[in-house]
Amino acid sequence: MGNNLEHLAIIMDGNGRWAQKRGQNRTKGHEKGVEVVRDITIHCSKIEEIKTLTLYAFSTENWKRPKLEVNFLMKLLERYLKNEEPTYMKYGVKFETIGDLEPFSKGLKKVINNLKEKTKNNKNLTQYVALNYGARDEITRAVKKLVEDKKEITQDNISNYLDTGYSDVDLLIRTSGELRLSNFLLWQIAYAELYFTNTLWPDFTPKELDEIIENFKKRKRKFGGI
């Protein structure tokens, strides 16, 4: 039978290096990376046991990148969300975000909220895209809200106040060979299985994802036990 995989999270890393290896501008890597987001999302929508797919798209630290690259990423995101609505509807994918959307432009926020509204009844898969996201920021905001609501500070209450609600990650994948978590879903991955691949995100395929899932199924998850 193997391990149950309900929540898959991916740190999509390596777009810039993929482009630079080809002598191209980093933006070309981001454009190719968006195509892979589509392919992987569609693939996950067809795997019945996967209920949630969380993708790390833009961190709270990514604002430190060159202004031109940040501006390009914002435009690319807006264009992707506008163009992909038929894909979300066709494959029954519900679109959600985690992170603090406050710094984004009115136009981008409108596109984000519009897609959330259009896809809210889709049932095959919930896709969370992490935007201006950092796990420490998420946990801090959750605790602040708990205090405001005069709730007791318990593990369950913190979990329920997180951006994803209470949804532990089963498998976390990071592409590009980097061996770090980069402030991503630190609470939700407490007992997740971790998988690091050297493949750069633009080269990541549904076939490799299937191989990683097969590896995950063979692992022994102990959750602190023996």
Of 135, 158, 155, 156, whose CA–CA distance to 147 is shortest?
Answer: 158
Name the catalytic one among 13, 122, 132, 163: 13
Active site residue 113: no
Q: How many helices (H) and strands (E) does the chain have?
A: 8, 6
Please tell me the distance from the alpha carbon of residue 89 to that of residue 183, in angstroms, as a whole number. Answer: 31
Name the catalytic one among 3, 25, 62, 157: 62
3 state DSSP class of 113? helix
Please tell me the distance from the alpha carbon of residue 51 to that of residue 94, in angstroms, as a whole number. Answer: 10
Please tell me the distance from the alpha carbon of residue 80 to that of residue 34, in angstroms, as a whole number. Answer: 8
Active site residue 3: no
3 state DSSP class of 30? helix
SS3 content of the chain, % helix, strand, coil (to 5): 45, 15, 40
Any idea which residues carry the catalytic annotation? 13, 62
